[in-house]
Amino acid sequence: MLLRALDRFFGHEASGGILLMLSAVLAMIVANSGLAGAYDGVLGSYFAVTINGEGLEKPLILWINDGLMAIFFFLIGLELKAELLEGKLKNPSDVVLPGVAAIGGMAFPALIYLAFNWGNPATVGGWAIPAATDIAFALGVLALVGDRVPSSLKVFLLTLAILDDMGAIVIIALFYTAELKVDYLFLSLIPLAGMWFLHHKKVHRMAPILMLGVILWVLVLKSGVHATLAGVVTAFFIPLKDKYGKSPLHSLEHGLSPYVLYVIVPIFAFANAGVVLKGMTFGDLMAPLPMGIALGLILGKQLGVFGITFAMVKLGLARMPSGANWAQIYGIACLAGIGFTMSLFIGSLSFTDQALMNEVRLGVLSGSILSGIMGYIALRLSTRDAPKAEAKAENAVA
């Protein structure tokens, strides 16, 4: 009975988003309980991998954010490559509407954040925090609505979120890179050359490419460029087809996806979502940093995604997703405001001060939760007569 229930849960599209939410709630409970000291102590514990004193020594929280999240970005890279070569991003005409909407959905939240934090040099660097969309969480909420929404809306949201991730990767590379160490960047060309050669030969076994990817990760980490980008780069050297006609890319994507969705992302959420509520007042939520993030996710995404989509369609530059209405587009725009994983991740790159990070968590969680609730309500209300309409159509055909 229990095994069947677990199988049904993990087989549901919303399971990843639900597990993510539970991990965040658990982190908040632990961070505000008697276990808070142990929670902080474990995350601050140093782990080292060294040879003759040379190597990596980092607290556990950075092994999670720099190491495990590199695997998360590796999966994103695999998905991006698959979509570019044979999926939703292959046909440029299908990308225009969600692509421009994604740009608007990143620009407007950043502008709203800057409007609140422009005069504060300590917080202005977090402008990209509300620009991100959490694919798993957003699709999980959409899945809760069920089959009431047309499939074109799911494709629209998925394409929007994928392009949003591409934008986040570019932002991290350009604006969240520490002081560069050029010698390590030059050394990183060696594993890159090896991966290019193996990709060119359409190798069947992926272990050599993955081992070179680990070496690339270490060198990129040492160079000052954020190490998670090594995951994306490695993914693009995984062959779509090997010399036997099989797809190593799809095999890795399907094999890795459950571990990322149900293990890595929940661990990241648990390690990064622990908002300390002790001594916090309503006025703290109104501070420029959390308010800029929350309103960026709530209003910025709605203005950017819905506003740009409305303008594009009305100007005749693009067509509405098939079978969708404007209320449903608004609901999708709200769901795009669920930043969570990527927003928390960019927040960890923006600030090292724990007090500021606590404000980041407060803004991300409040903005994401409200966006999710608004999106769910909008989609439910806009599709409440959908089953009846479908039944009437079927009877008419019969």
Q: What total of structural domains would you count in the chain?
A: 1
Judge whether 398 lies within some domain.
no
Judge whether 395 lies within some domain.
no
Judge whether 4 lies within some domain.
no
Judge whether 392 lies within some domain.
no
The predicted structure's pLDDT at residue 273: 82
The predicted structure's pLDDT at residue 363: 92
DSSP 124-189: GGGTTGGG---HHHHHHHHHHHGGGS-HHHHHHHHHHHHHHHHHHHHHHHHHS--S--HHHHHHTH
Per-residue tens of pLDDT for the chain, all 398 residues: 656 665 665 565 567 777 888 888 899 899 899 888 898 899 889 888 877 777 788 888 888 888 888 898 898 889 888 888 887 777 777 788 988 999 999 999 999 999 999 989 999 999 999 988 887 778 778 877 877 778 888 888 888 888 888 888 888 888 887 677 888 889 999 999 999 999 998 888 899 999 999 999 999 888 877 777 888 899 999 999 988 889 999 999 999 988 988 889 889 889 888 888 777 777 778 889 999 999 999 999 999 999 999 999 999 888 888 888 999 999 999 999 998 888 988 998 889 888 899 899 999 999 999 999 999 999 988 876 555 444 343 344 33
Judge whether 198 lies within some domain.
yes
**Exposure on the CB side of residue 220, measured as CA atoms within 13 A:** 24
Judge whether 208 lies within some domain.
yes
Judge whether 130 lies within some domain.
yes
The predicted structure's pLDDT at residue 386: 53
Which amino acid appears at position 385 of this protein?
D
Q: Which domain holds residue 56?
A: 10-386
Contacts of 109 (CB under 8 A, 6+ apart): 130, 131, 296, 297, 300, 301, 304, 337
pTM attached to this predicted model: 0.79
| Residue pair 289/359 in contact by the 8 Å Cβ criterion | yes
Judge whether 397 lies within some domain.
no
Q: 59 has which bridge partners?
A: 46
The predicted structure's pLDDT at residue 3: 61
Q: DSSP class of residue 320?
A: P
B/e letters for 125-142, b = 16+ CB within 10 Å, e = fewer, are: ebbbbbbbbbbbbbbbbb
**Of the candidates 55, 65, 66, 75, which has an alpha carbon nearest to the alpha carbon of residue 234?**
75
CATH code of the domain containing 382? 1.20.1530.10
